[in-house]
């Protein structure tokens, strides 16, 4: 595999040394962690926000469609977009997910804090996962609160494609839409893990969605590793910055 021109051999060596030398690593990631599983991100090269309007086939921005107010007003359009652009039912974890899960099983990874809603970290075997934005795998009725698995919610679609509970209520995914609050419990757990971490690996995120991105500020150490395909406004703050695909970079590290 070719090395990225901006990545020196020493970077990979330092990455390996810092990871193998710690049993208190925390990973903070985003949509870029799952692009190697075939799920598009929002702001990366092939992301949903960067694709042109006709390719997207929708007249309003993804950010608008994925907002609480749009969902309330146009559930039919919301679910059409959700099924087409957000749900990737056959996606499988990639090497990044598997390596992070292995580090946890070896007692080195203390938490995976993710902005992703795809559940792939758990599918790869990670247990200590803090899902800041919820998960498509959990669903609930907005009227009677009955809980549904992803399969059951999919199977309960009415003629318009809106998942319906036996009580008639809409079954929605347990994800945080734009305009909704993050769970206080998830924020607390993430803050604790990040503020106590010796090594913080941030990967596959543009760090532009708040308040999630602001949690990185709680890190107090001096081993802040950033692995991303493109630059972010936080690059200068990283103690080690590696440009590349996260699954590829972690696979090549000696960890």
Nearer to ligand NAD, 193 or 242 (CB): 242
Instruction: In angstroms, give the least distance from the CB of 75 to ligand NAD.
Output: 20
Task: Please tell me which residue in 13, 74, 133, 188 is annotated as part of the active site.
Answer: 133
Which residues of this protein are in contact with ligand NAD, per CB under 6 A?
30-32, 34-36, 39, 41-44, 47, 115-118, 133, 203-206, 208-209, 228-230, 232, 245-246
How many alpha carbons fall within 13 Å on the CB side of residue 65?
20
Q: Is 238 left (phi over 0), alpha (psi -120 to 50) or beta?
A: beta
The DSSP secondary-structure symbol of 216 reads G
Residue 97 a catalytic site member: no
Nearer to ligand NAD, 163 or 247 (CB): 247
Q: What angle do CA 34, 39, 40 make, to 5 degrees?
A: 105
CB 28 within 8 A of CB 48: no
Nearer to ligand NAD, 5 or 107 (CB): 5
Instruction: In angstroms, give the least distance from the CB of 45 to ligand NAD.
Output: 6
Nearer to ligand NAD, 139 or 205 (CB): 205
CA distance 35 to 22: 27
Nearer to ligand NAD, 165 or 204 (CB): 204
Instruction: In angstroms, give the least distance from the CB of 209 to ligand NAD.
Output: 4
Instruction: In angstroms, give the least distance from the CB of 33 to ligand NAD.
Output: 7
Nearer to ligand NAD, 41 or 104 (CB): 41
Instruction: In angstroms, give the least distance from the CB of 143 to ligand NAD.
Output: 26
CA distance 38 to 23: 31
How many C-beta atoms surround the C-beta of residue 38 within 10 A? 11
Residue with tokens 């075997």, as numbered in its chain: 125
What string of DSSP letters covers 59-118? SS-HHHHTBHHHHHH-HHHHHHHIIIII--TT----HHHHHHHHHHHTT-EEEEEE---S
Instruction: In angstroms, give the least distance from the CB of 36 to ligand NAD.
Output: 5
Chain-centre distance for alpha carbon 173: 15
CB 124 within 8 A of CB 100: yes
Catalytic residues: 133
């Amino acid at each position: 595999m070719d090395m990225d021109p901006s990545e020196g051999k020493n970077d990979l060596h330092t990455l390996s040394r810092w990871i193998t030398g710690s049993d208190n690593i925390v990973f903070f990631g985003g949509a870029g962690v799952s692009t190697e599983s075939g799920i598009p991100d929002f702001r990366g090269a092939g992301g949903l926000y960067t694709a042109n309007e006709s390719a997207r086939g929708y007249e309003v921005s993804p950010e608008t469609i994925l907002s609480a107010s749009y969902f309330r007003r146009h559930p039919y359009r919301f679910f059409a977009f959700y099924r087409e652009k957000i749900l990737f039912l056959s996606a499988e974890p990639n090497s990044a997910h598997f390596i992070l899960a292995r580090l946890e099983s070896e007692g080195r990874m203390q938490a995976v804090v993710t902005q992703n809603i795809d559940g792939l970290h758990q599918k790869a075997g990670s247990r200590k996962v803090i899902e800041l934005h919820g998960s498509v795998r959990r669903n609930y009725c907005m009227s009677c609160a009955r809980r549904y698995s992803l399969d059951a919610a999919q199977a309960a679609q009415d003629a318009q494609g809106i998942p319906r509970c036996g009580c008639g209520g809409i079954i929605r995914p347990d994800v945080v839409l734009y305009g909704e609050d993050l769970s206080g419990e998830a924020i607390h757990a993430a803050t604790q893990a990040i503020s106590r971490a010796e090594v913080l690996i941030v990967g596959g995120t543009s760090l532009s969605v708040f308040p999630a991105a602001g949690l990185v500020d709680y890190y107090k150490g001096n081993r802040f590793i950033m692995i991303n395909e493109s630059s972010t406004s936080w690059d200068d703050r990283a103690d080690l910055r590696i440009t590349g695909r996260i699954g590829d970079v972690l696979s090549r590290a000696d960890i």
